[in-house]
């Protein structure tokens, strides 16, 4: 029985999805990109990201929300 998790089709889909995500992140302005990288990719909490970036938690949340609006466009 073949492992369905590792089919050539699934690898292509996964690679394509990763490319799309990378391109979307790269298209962001730096201040939004850093929030995505820290919170979505590296798993920082908003509080941790705010501490690292030396800004209020509200700023992190608003940048996150703006990124979500940008993705929908």
Contact 25, 37 (CB under 8 A): yes
Rounded to an integer, what is the distance from CA 69 to the centroid of its chain? 13
Token pair 């938690």 is found at: 57
Q: Which residue has the higher pLDDT, 56 or 3?
A: 56
Digit-coded pLDDT (tens) for 33-56: 999 999 999 999 999 999 999 999
The answer on pLDDT for 2 being more than 70 is no
User: What is the Cα–Cα distance from 67 to 27, expressed in whole angstroms?
Assistant: 11
| Residue percentage of the chain with pLDDT more than 90 | 58
């Amino acid at each position: 029985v073949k492992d369905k998790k590792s089919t050539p089709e699934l690898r292509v889909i996964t690679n394509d999805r990763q490319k799309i995500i990378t391109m979307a992140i790269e298209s962001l302005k730096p201040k939004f990109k850093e929030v995505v990288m820290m919170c979505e990719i590296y798993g920082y909490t908003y509080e941790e990201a705010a501490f690292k970036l030396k800004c209020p938690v509200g700023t992190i949340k608003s940048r996150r929300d703006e990124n979500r609006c940008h993705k929908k466009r």
